[in-house]
Chain A
Amino acid sequence: MKALVRAVVVIGALFLLDSLLAGNLVPGVSLSPYFLQILCLAGINIILAVSLNLINGFTGQFSIGHAGFMAIGAYVSAYLSITEGDRIRAVFSFAPASVQDSALLLVILGAGAFAAAIAGFLVGVPSLRLRGDYLAIVTLGFGEIIRVFIVNIDAVGGARGLGGMPRLANFFWIYLFAAATVAAVTRIVNSSFGRTLVAIREDEIAAEAMGVNTTRHKVLSFVVSSAMAGVAGGLFAHYLMYLHPNSFTFLKSFEIIIMIVIGGLGSITGSVLGAVLYIVLTEGLREFAQYRMVLFSLLLVVIMIVRPGGILGHRELWSFFTRRRRVEPAPPAVTG
């Protein structure tokens, strides 16, 4: 019940914010399209970063293929809205146009998430048997395979890119899904399932010895994370209205990794912070475009030296505001 109230409050607030930013609420007050776009892309990055953190931060499985799953979500939903858009709309013909748009968006995002989840399953089952560097390399490879696949499918434009989908996503939808992603991942992490994921990160052998089916848990978290990346892809496609395979190279995966490493692996608020920080920095450094990546690498190196666990480490943002409990040196062993 409390959750329902909270959801309604979030939706209401987003709706108001959306009209405010678009200039519909207070005449003369609006955000410039440039900043609005940055804000929206930041929202998509939040979805990507928080979902990747579920695998990399909480389950401790270093995956570098997130862009691939985003691409699948983007292309599947874009293809659907282009070819089947009218038919899906027709189902909701009784409703006004704006409701039709929303329904269409939800349907295609669902399809994109589903497709990405299946891809996540197919990639996850064989590759999650590997650990550490090997897993990283294999997921990197799979991410690239997905992209090369798309380049060679003519129906979705291949190397020409894909355009012509309607602009269905906006600030409201992007941040609604960002909030939903954050809520879902928070709940997963703070449940018995999430506890088990962290246990796998801490010591996989011990986790298995405690009766955990580690393969099942790893694959499940991979699938959930891929589905969320698929949603982010779908929103991306219907916000920018143009897709190109080059948007989904391994560099995109690295971007997401940078976000979660900056923010702190294993911290949800850290991922949100990292995602926002990343886009603020990329846009802020636009004038120095050539040196942008150099500056980024430098920043990353500095963060790794100063705070090896990322800005927030394993902790959540609010834990810094509550009084920090001193860890007393434990007394010598007591009777057993």
Chain B
Amino acid sequence: MRFGGLVAVKDLDLSIEPGQLYGLIGPNGAGKTTVFNVITGVYRPTSGEISFKDQPIVGERSGKITRRGIARTFQNIRLFGEMTVLENVKVASDCRQTADLASAVFRTPAHHSEEKRVDLQDRELLKIFHLEQFADEKAKNLPYGSQRRLEIARAMATLPRLLLLDEPAAGMNPQEARQLMDLIRWVRDRFGMGILLVEHNMKVVMGVCETVHVLDYGATIAVGPPAEIQRNPKVIEAYLGGA
């Protein structure tokens, strides 16, 4: 992926299996978020290919890619602030429903049953994420940690097979970060989807990921299990600077 003359990410090769927790780390400006934006269709890669469930997805709109089963959260929280928590989740699950504009205007039976189904399903989802007490609260009024959880819950409502988490622990205190780690593991175990995690908090990354992928200036410098990465001299150099 290049922007004009700048090569942001090059020769990236990664694959994620269902149920795998894959960490992507690197110093600031290494290209982590760019990788996210390329996968989710926000940027079109200048070369290379991405396939999901054995189908190429390069060049599709990000909405389409989400409907295929790749959901993401945002580094800087992007909730629908004026909408309630429940509505936030409903918008996401709407991408799986078929009711159209006409059925809304004429209130067809299909519209009613669909609305009921979405309502039940999403209240259930909020319960899983311990957000049910906020269901009718505006999203912007939630405490920070809960907003982060809602971001994940909202992404989950699109029923993804691959979940991309962009710095979910940003701004969390150690206790919240620990709870987040449990949540991530739990979500993976329960739904069995692949998770790609971008994170600066090394405790979280090393704690939950099975494979860690280190980027520096857009190039891969190491891939392996957390224990190996922690000892890798190249990684240490990238983070601490060479002697």
Contact = CB atoms under 8 A, between A and B. Distances in A.
Is B truly associated with A?
Answer: yes
Contact of B81 (A192, A196, A202): A202
B27 to A, nearest CB: 25
B198 to A, nearest CB: 15
A211 B87 contact: no
Interface residues of B, number: 57
B143 A327 contact: no
B157 to A, nearest CB: 8
A193 B107 contact: no
B145 interface: yes
A205 interface: yes
A192 B144 contact: no
A209 B104 contact: no
Interface in A178-215: 184, 187-188, 191-196, 198-199, 201-203, 205-214
B149 interface: yes
Contact of A333 (B82, B143, B155): B143
Interface string A218-256: 001000100000000000000000000000000000000
B97 interface: yes
Contacts of A198: 80, 82-83, 87
A206 B95 CA distance: 13
B72 to A, nearest CB: 6
Q: Which of B83, B94, B137, B176 has the most CB of A within 10 A?
A: B94
Interface in B69-110: 71-72, 74, 78-83, 87-88, 90-92, 94-97, 99-101, 104-105, 107
B78 A206 contact: yes
B71 A330 contact: no
Given A192-B115, A209-B40, A224-B101, A199 B91 contact: yes
Contact size class for A?
35 or more
A195 B63 contact: no
Contacts of B95: 210-212
B141 A212 contact: no
Interface in B172-212: 176, 179-180, 182-183
Given A187-B107, A198-B82, A209-B66, A332 B90 contact: no
B118 interface: yes
A314 interface: yes
A195 B83 contact: yes
A209 B129 contact: no
13 contacts: A3-B107, A188-B104, A193-B100, A199-B91, A203-B81, A209-B40, A209-B78, A210-B158, A211-B95, A214-B63, A330-B143, A335-B179, A336-B145
Interface of B: 40, 42, 61-64, 66-67, 71-72, 74, 78-83, 87-88, 90-92, 94-97, 99-101, 104-105, 107, 111, 114-115, 118, 129-130, 134, 137-138, 141-146, 149, 154-155, 157-158, 176, 179-180, 182-183
Given A214-B63, A333-B179, 17 more contacts: A3-B107, A184-B105, A193-B99, A194-B104, A195-B83, A199-B88, A201-B82, A206-B74, A209-B40, A210-B157, A211-B95, A211-B96, A212-B94, A224-B101, A330-B146, A331-B143, A334-B130
